[in-house]
Amino acid sequence: MESEMIRETAPFLVGILLSPALMIALRPQWSSTLRFAVTFLCALVIGVLTSWLAGELIAGPFDPDSWIAIMIDTSLVMTGSQLAYRFVWKPLLGARFHRAVAPAGQTRS
């Protein structure tokens, strides 16, 4: 029972730690579509790795349970990263990143 709880909370916790890395990697000049695509692809890769490490992909790539495990873990990573970004990392680090990267034509203060 405890291992099941850890297996389901691990992707969410990894997603929380994904947000600061994405804040550093993503550029404000990129379109919102590109930033979303990069964020989602990172969540998908981490979701697949989490499912694989938890042993949920043993049945093979054609088993529906494997695909469901990947979808659940990916959604947990994405949810954790977006909630952490919105409520923790953006208020803490957002102002620092916005000061460091000024829009074109403006000087940094």
Domain ranges of the chain: 23-93
| Arithmetic mean of pLDDT, 44-54 | 93
Q: Which residue has better confidence, 108 or 18?
A: 18
108-to-26, 30, 59 alpha-carbon distances in Å: 19, 19, 54
Which residues does 101 contact at the CB level (< 8 Å), separation at least 6?
Answer: 27, 28
What was the pLDDT predicted at 23?
85
- Residue 21, H or E segment: helix 2-25
Report pTM.
0.78
Q: What percent of the chain has pLDDT over 90?
A: 44
Where does the pLDDT of residue 8 fall: very low under 50, low under 70, confident under 90, or very high at 90 and above? confident
Which of 19, 16, 17 is closest to 94 using CA atoms? Answer: 19
CB atoms inside a 10 Å sphere around CB 40: 15
